[in-house]
Chains A and B, each alone.
Chain A
Amino acid sequence: MRTATRCVLATLLMSLVGVGGLLAAESYEQKRRELMDEIRRDVQRTSREIGRAQLDDRVMEVMAKVPRHEFVPADQRPYAYRNRPLPIGYGQTISQPYIVAIMTDLLGLEEGDRVLEVGTGSGYQAAVLAAMKTDVYTMEIIPELGREVAERLERLGYKEINTRIGDGYYGWQEQAPFDGIIVTAAAAHIPPPLVRQLKPGGRMIIPVGGPFRVQQLTLVEKAATGEVTTRQLLPVAFVPLTGDH
C-alpha cells in the first residue's frame, strides 16, 4: 500500500513538474511574443533614425523563435524577455533585444551569407544570425566564456555555428571575406584587418559605449569600389534640438 501511495505521489509529482515545464515554456513563448510586439512598436517610432519603418520580417521571425532565456544565467531568467541588457558574468552583458534586432537588420544579410562576429558573449547574437540561415563564425577572447558558450550553442542545437577562442582583431582569415561583420568587443579604433576581410558591398556594425549602454552604432560600409565609409547611427529617435522634429 505504502509503495503504491509513493508511486502515485511520485507520478503526480513528475506530471506536475512536466506540466510546470510546459507552462514555463509556454509563458516564455508568450513573453517573447510580447517583447517582439514591443520592439515592433519601438522600431516604428525610430523609423527616421534607422532609415526604415519596420525591420526585415525575417529578423522579427527569428527573434521570435530564439530562446533568449537559454542565453542568460539562471538568476536572470525571469528578466530574459524584458527589453533590457542583462549581466552574464565576466563583466559582459547580453545586449538589449531591441539593439540586437536593429544590428541584425542593419547588416542586411541574405540566406547563405557569411558573417563574422567578434565577441561571442552569451552567444545570443550568433544564434539569431544562425537562425537567419547564414554561415556564422564567432570569436570570443575570454576562454572560459568561449567554452561555456560553445557548449551552450551545441546543447541548443546551433551546431552549424563555428566558434573559436582567440583574438578577434585579425578576424578569421581562412573564412574571409565576409558579407557582414559584427564587433561587440570594445574597440578604441576600427580594426583595419577586419575592414580588409569585408567583401565589397559588405557591412560591419560596431556598437559603441559602455556595458549596459550602447550609445551609438557605427556602421562601416565597403562600396563595390572598395571605398570605405562609416556612419554613426543612434539606435533611438532623438533629435538634439527642441522644436526640430
Chain B
Amino acid sequence: MPLRLAVSVLAAAAIGYEILLIRLFSIIQWHHFAFMVISLALLGYGASGTFLTLVSRRLGLDDLHRERRLGVAFMVSAALFSLLAVGAFALAQRVPFNPLEMAWDPRQFWRLWVVYLLLALPFFSAGTAIGLALMRARGKIHRVYRADLVGAGVGALGIVAILFVAPATTVLVLVGSLGLVAAGIAGLDRSLGVTRKWIPLFGIAAVLFVWIWPQSWLAPQPSEYKGLSKTMLVPATRILAEDSSPLGRLTVVASSRIPFRHAPGLSLAFPDELPEQLGLFTDGDSMSAIDLPGSGGEVSYLEYLPSALPYHLLDRPRVLILGAGGGGEISSALHHGVRRVDAVEFNPQVVRLVDGLFDNPEQSPYRRPGVRVHVEDARSFLARGRDLFELILVPPLDSSTVAAAGSQSASASFLYTVESFGEALSRLEQEGLLAVSRWLKVPPRDSLKLFATAVVALERSGVDAPAEHLAMIRSWSTVTLVVGRRPLAPRQLEALRTFSRERSFDLAFYPGIEQQETNRYNRLEAPYLAMGAEAILGADREEFYDRYKFNVRPATDDRPFFFNFFKWSVLPELLELRGRGGTPLVEWGYLIGVATLVQALVAAVVLILLPLGALGGAGQQAGGSVRVVVYFGALGLAFLMLEVVFIQKLTLFLGHPLYAVALVLAAFLVFAGLGSGSSAGLEQAMRRRARVLLGTELSAIEVSILSLAALSLTYLLLLPPVLRSAIQLPVFLKVPIALALLAPPAFLMGMPFPLGLARAADLKPVWVPWAWGINGSASVVSAALTPILAIHLGFGAVTTLAAALYLVAAASFRGLQKE
C-alpha cells in the first residue's frame, strides 16, 4: 500500500513539474515551447521503459525474491527526481540558448538540444521509479497503474491551484521535494524489506531540500531581449507591483526619469506631451501602458491614435472592450465622452493590480463611474450575454516585438476567428461597429487576415455586399479595421476621411475608395493593403490567397491559428534572402514547432528504439511482426492527438488554455486509468455483448476501439454545438460538464493499451518492452506533430485521423491474433 501511495505522489510531482516547466519557459523565453515540454516529458518516460528493459536483468531487478533491491532502486530513482527536478532546471538556465538567434547561429539548435535532454532527465528518473513499481506488481499491475494515473490527475489540478498562491520558484522546490517524500513513503512498505531506521532521514531531507537551493539557481532568468529586462536597464526604473499566477507573471514598472511614452501609432500631429505612464508587463514582455491622469502631459493624445477612429463615426456609443488589460482603452472611451463601458478582462490579477496602483481607487480605469468590469474570457462573454452594444473594441494585446518576431505563429487564438467576429457582430446594435486594431507588419499579414476574417464573418451573417460595411486605416505602425453591422453611412465615410487627413493616417479601404486616396502619408512600396482588400472582396479571392506569399486565409474555430502566416512554398526564397534582411519575414514560432518535431523524432529513435534494438534477439523477433509496431505506434499517436484536440476544444469552452490543459490532463489520466484498471474485468462482458448485439466474435480491444472511433466522430459533429450552448454557464457548472464529456472517450482510450500489452505478453513476452518503447516513441512524436497537423488540416481532420489510426490499430490487432 505505501508503495502505491509513493507512486501516486511521484506521478503527481512529475506532471506538476511538467506544467510548471511550461510556465517557467513562458517567463524565461516565450510561450511557444509548451509542446516541447510535453514532448520531453514523454521522452523521459519512454526512455525509462527502455532503460529498465535493458538493465533489469543485469541488476537482478526482475527477480521477485529480491524485493529489497527493487525497493532501494525505487527509492533512489524517486530521490533522484528531487535532485534533477531542480538541478536540471538550474543547469538548463545556464545554457546560453537564445531562440531569437536561431536564424543566424546553428549553435542555438545544439543548445536547444541540451536544454531538451537536460529537462527530460527528471521525467526519466520518475518514469524509472514508477516502472520499477509496475514490474514488481505483476498480478496487481492495474492497481499500481491506477495509483500512477490518479496521482497524475490530482497533480495536474493541484499544480494549477498552488500556482495561484505561490510563486513559480517556491513551487519548483516544493514539487522537487516530493521525490524524497515518495522515497520515504515507499520505504514504509514492509514488503520491500528496506531498513526502516533510514526512513526519517528522507523526511528531514525533504524539508531541508526546500531550503538548501541558492536563490540564484532557482530564480527564472528571463531573456535579456524581453521588454522588461531591457526596461530595467534604464536609470530610475523600479518595480512597483508584481503578481504571479498560472495565467502569467505581471509586473508594473515605474520609470521616474525617462517616461514610457507608449502611444502606438501616435500621429505626428499630436502637439503636446504624453501623460506619465506605468508599464504593465506580462511574463516580462507584451507591455501595455497605464496612464496616470493628473500627472502632467495630455491624455488628449488618445484622440491622435488610429484606434480613436470609431469615436468619430459614432456619437458617444455604449462600448464593450474585449481585453481591457492596463485600462488604456477604457481611458480612451471615457475621454471620448462615452457614458457606459463594459470592460472584459480574463485575468483577475490584472484588474486587481491596476486597482491597487492608485491611492484613490476611484482613479483606476476599472473603477471609474460608468465602467462595468467582467472578469472572463472574451468569447464566453460574447456567447453568454444578451445586451447589445454600439461599439465593440478589440485592442492589440501583444507587444510589437512579439508580433514582429512571429513567435506566436503556432499558438491558437479564438478571438480572431470568423466565428468570433460573427458573435461580436450579433452583439451589436443595428448601427453598431466592431473595431479591431493590430500592429502593422510589412508586407501586410495580420491586417489582411483581419480584413478577410471580417469579410467572411459578414458573408456568413447574410450580408450580400460586405464591402459596404468595412473601413480600414493605418498609421506607420498600427492598423484599425472597422466593421459595421449595417453599411457605413455617407456621414461616417466623411468623418473617416476627415479623421485620417487631420492626423496623416492613410486610408486603406472604405466603400468607394479611389486608388489615389491610398498610400499618401506613410508610403508603402505599393498600396498592399488596398490591393489585398480589393482582391479579398473580389471574385478572385481564392487565387489571391494562393498567390500571396503569406497565409492570410481567415482563421476559424477549427483552425484558430490567426498568427500563423507561414507558407512552406516561400521558405526557400526567405532563407535565400537571409543576408539581405529577409529573416524577419520568416514566422519563427512555426519553425520552432517543426524543429521540436524533428528533435522528438530523433530523440525517440535514439533514446528509445535503438537501445531496444541493441537487445538483438528481441529486436529481430519483434521486427518480424510489423503488426506490433503498427498497433502500439498507432495507439501512441492517436491518444495524444485526441488529448490535444480536447485541450483546444475546451480552451474555448473554459476560457483559458491553462484550465483546459489541467482539466483534460487530469480527466484523461483518471478516466483512462479507470478504463485500464477495469479492462481485464470487462473483457469477458464486452465479448459477450458484442456476440449478442453484432452476432460476431469481437475481442474487448476491438469493441473498445470501434466504440472509441465511433465516439470520436460523433463528438466531431456534436461537441461544437453542445459546447456552444453551454458556454454561457458559470465555471462551476462548466467543469462537471467538461468532465462528463471527457469521461467516455478517456475511459475507452485507457483500454486498448493494457489489453494489447497482456495479449503481446501471452504471445511473445519479449514483445512487451518493444510495445512499451514504440508506444512511448509515438507519443513523443505525436505531442510535437499534432499542433503542426492542426495548423494545416484543422482540429476536425486531426480527430478523424486519430479515429482512423485507432481503426488501423484494431485491424493490426486482428492480424496479430491470427499469427
Interface set of A (CB-CB < 8 Å, partner B): 38, 42, 45-46, 49, 83-85, 87, 89-91, 96, 98-99, 102, 141-145, 167, 169, 186, 188-192, 195, 208-216, 218, 228-244
B235 at the interface (CB under 8 A from A): yes
Whether the pair A91, B580 counts as a contact (CB closer than 8 A) is no
Residues in A with CB closer than 8 Å to B550 are 240
Residues in A with CB closer than 8 Å to B577 are 236-238
Query: Which of B405, B504, B584 neighbours the largest number of chain A CB atoms within 10 Å of its CB?
Result: B584
Whether the pair B523, A234 counts as a contact (CB closer than 8 A) is no
Inter-chain CA distance A211–B404, complex, in Å, is 10
Whether the pair A45, B580 counts as a contact (CB closer than 8 A) is yes
Residues in A with CB closer than 8 Å to B523 are 229-232
Contact of A189 among B224, B263, B271, B547 (CB under 8 A): B263
Comparing B46-54, B100-108, B484-492, B740-748, the segment that makes contact with chain A is B100-108
How close is B54's CB to chain A, nearest CB, in angstroms? Answer: 40
Contact of B581 among A98, A144, A145 (CB under 8 A): A98
How close is B320's CB to chain A, nearest CB, in angstroms? Answer: 25
Whether the pair B524, A232 counts as a contact (CB closer than 8 A) is yes
B225 at the interface (CB under 8 A from A): yes
Q: Contacts A99-B581, A189-B477 given; indicate if A215 touches B264 (C-beta within 8 A).
A: no
Binary interface encoding of chain B residues 229-249 relative to chain A, with 1 for a CB under 8 A from any of its CBs, else 0: 110011100000000000000
Whether the pair A213, B100 counts as a contact (CB closer than 8 A) is yes
Residues in A with CB closer than 8 Å to B405 are 210, 213
Whether the pair B266, A189 counts as a contact (CB closer than 8 A) is yes
Residues in A with CB closer than 8 Å to B582 are 236, 238
B297 at the interface (CB under 8 A from A): no
Contact of A240 among B226, B234, B266, B528 (CB under 8 A): B528
Binary interface encoding of chain B residues 94-116 relative to chain A, with 1 for a CB under 8 A from any of its CBs, else 0: 00001011011100000000000
Q: Contacts A85-B104, A215-B404, A241-B549 given; indicate if A90 touches B224 (C-beta within 8 A).
A: yes
Inter-chain CA distance A89–B224, complex, in Å, is 8
Whether the pair A98, B580 counts as a contact (CB closer than 8 A) is yes
Whether the pair A211, B581 counts as a contact (CB closer than 8 A) is no
Inter-chain CA distance A216–B60, complex, in Å, is 65
How close is A118's CB to chain B, nearest CB, in angstroms? Answer: 12
Residues in B with CB closer than 8 Å to A244 are 547
Q: Contacts A189-B263, A190-B268, A240-B528 given; indicate if A90 touches B233 (C-beta within 8 A).
A: yes
Contact of B224 among A91, A96, A232 (CB under 8 A): A91
Inter-chain CA distance A71–B62, complex, in Å, is 62
15 pairs, CB–CB < 8 Å, chain A vs chain B: A38-B579, A102-B581, A186-B401, A188-B262, A188-B264, A191-B261, A210-B100, A213-B100, A213-B404, A231-B523, A232-B525, A233-B525, A234-B443, A234-B525, A240-B444
Whether the pair A169, B234 counts as a contact (CB closer than 8 A) is no
Whether the pair A91, B230 counts as a contact (CB closer than 8 A) is yes
CB closest chain-A residue, reference B402: A210
Whether the pair B261, A189 counts as a contact (CB closer than 8 A) is yes
Binary interface encoding of chain B residues 703-733 relative to chain A, with 1 for a CB under 8 A from any of its CBs, else 0: 0000000000000000000000000000000
Q: Contacts A91-B225, A232-B476 given; indicate if A238 touches B585 (C-beta within 8 A).
A: yes
Contact of A234 among B263, B271, B404, B581 (CB under 8 A): B581
How close is A225's CB to chain B, nearest CB, in angstroms? Answer: 15
Inter-chain CA distance A230–B520, complex, in Å, is 9
Residues in B with CB closer than 8 Å to A213 are 100, 404-405, 583-584
Whether the pair A87, B580 counts as a contact (CB closer than 8 A) is no
Inter-chain CA distance A90–B103, complex, in Å, is 20
Whether the pair A235, B225 counts as a contact (CB closer than 8 A) is no
How close is B141's CB to chain A, nearest CB, in angstroms? Answer: 51
Whether the pair B100, A42 counts as a contact (CB closer than 8 A) is no
Inter-chain CA distance A89–B229, complex, in Å, is 12
Residues in B with CB closer than 8 Å to A85 are 104
Query: Which of B441, B504, B580 neighbours the largest number of chain A CB atoms within 10 Å of its CB?
Result: B580
Inter-chain CA distance A45–B271, complex, in Å, is 41
How close is A104's CB to chain B, nearest CB, in angstroms? Answer: 14
Add 20 more A-B contacts to A188-B263, A192-B270, A239-B549 (CB < 8 A).
Answer: A87-B101, A90-B233, A102-B581, A167-B257, A189-B261, A189-B263, A189-B477, A190-B266, A195-B268, A209-B404, A209-B584, A210-B225, A210-B405, A211-B401, A215-B442, A215-B585, A228-B504, A229-B521, A232-B476, A234-B581
Whether the pair A215, B441 counts as a contact (CB closer than 8 A) is yes
How close is A141's CB to chain B, nearest CB, in angstroms? Answer: 6
Whether the pair B258, A141 counts as a contact (CB closer than 8 A) is yes
CB closest chain-B residue, reference A192: B268
Residues in B with CB closer than 8 Å to A210 are 100, 225, 400-402, 404-405, 584
In the complex, chain B residues 365-418 whose Cβ is within 8 Å of any chain A Cβ: 400-402, 404-405
Residues in B with CB closer than 8 Å to A188 are 261-266, 400, 477
B817 at the interface (CB under 8 A from A): no
CB closest chain-B residue, reference A231: B523
CB closest chain-B residue, reference A191: B261
Residues in A with CB closer than 8 Å to B524 are 231-232
Residues in A with CB closer than 8 Å to B271 are 192
Residues in A with CB closer than 8 Å to B684 are none
B548 at the interface (CB under 8 A from A): yes
CB closest chain-A residue, reference B476: A230
Inter-chain CA distance A237–B257, complex, in Å, is 41
Inter-chain CA distance A99–B266, complex, in Å, is 26
Residues in A with CB closer than 8 Å to B477 are 188-189, 208
How close is B585's CB to chain A, nearest CB, in angstroms? Answer: 6
Inter-chain CA distance A192–B270, complex, in Å, is 8
Binary interface encoding of chain B residues 212-228 relative to chain A, with 1 for a CB under 8 A from any of its CBs, else 0: 00000000000011100
Whether the pair B441, A98 counts as a contact (CB closer than 8 A) is no
Residues in A with CB closer than 8 Å to B522 are 229-232
Inter-chain CA distance A145–B580, complex, in Å, is 28
How close is B579's CB to chain A, nearest CB, in angstroms? Answer: 5
Residues in A with CB closer than 8 Å to B264 are 188-189
Whether the pair B476, A190 counts as a contact (CB closer than 8 A) is yes
CB closest chain-A residue, reference B569: A242
Residues in B with CB closer than 8 Å to A242 are 547-549
How close is B117's CB to chain A, nearest CB, in angstroms? Answer: 24
Q: Contacts A49-B525, A189-B261, A213-B584 given; indicate if A87 touches B400 (C-beta within 8 A).
A: no
Query: Which of A98, A195, A209, A218 neighbours the largest number of chain B CB atoms within 10 Å of its CB?
Result: A209
Residues in B with CB closer than 8 Å to A169 are 258-259, 261
Contact of A208 among B234, B404, B525 (CB under 8 A): B404
Contact of A235 among B443, B476, B547, B580 (CB under 8 A): B580
Inter-chain CA distance A97–B758, complex, in Å, is 64
How close is B302's CB to chain A, nearest CB, in angstroms? Answer: 13
Inter-chain CA distance A244–B235, complex, in Å, is 49
How close is B221's CB to chain A, nearest CB, in angstroms? Answer: 12
Residues in B with CB closer than 8 Å to A144 are 233
Inter-chain CA distance A156–B257, complex, in Å, is 32
Residues in A with CB closer than 8 Å to B266 are 188-190
Inter-chain CA distance A229–B524, complex, in Å, is 11
Whether the pair B549, A240 counts as a contact (CB closer than 8 A) is yes
CB closest chain-A residue, reference B269: A192
CB closest chain-B residue, reference A233: B525
Q: Contacts A91-B230, A189-B477, A190-B268 given; indicate if A212 touches B104 (C-beta within 8 A).
A: yes
Binary interface encoding of chain B residues 429-455 relative to chain A, with 1 for a CB under 8 A from any of its CBs, else 0: 000000000000111100000000000
Inter-chain CA distance A133–B680, complex, in Å, is 86
Contact of B98 among A87, A96, A214 (CB under 8 A): A87
Inter-chain CA distance A89–B233, complex, in Å, is 11
Inter-chain CA distance A54–B261, complex, in Å, is 38
Residues in A with CB closer than 8 Å to B263 are 188-189
CB closest chain-B residue, reference A190: B268
Whether the pair B442, A42 counts as a contact (CB closer than 8 A) is no
Residues in A with CB closer than 8 Å to B404 are 208-210, 213, 215
In the complex, chain B residues 521-579 whose Cβ is within 8 Å of any chain A Cβ: 521-525, 528, 547-550, 573-574, 577, 579
CB closest chain-A residue, reference B531: A241
Residues in A with CB closer than 8 Å to B265 are 188-189
Inter-chain CA distance A90–B573, complex, in Å, is 33
Residues in B with CB closer than 8 Å to A90 are 224, 230, 233
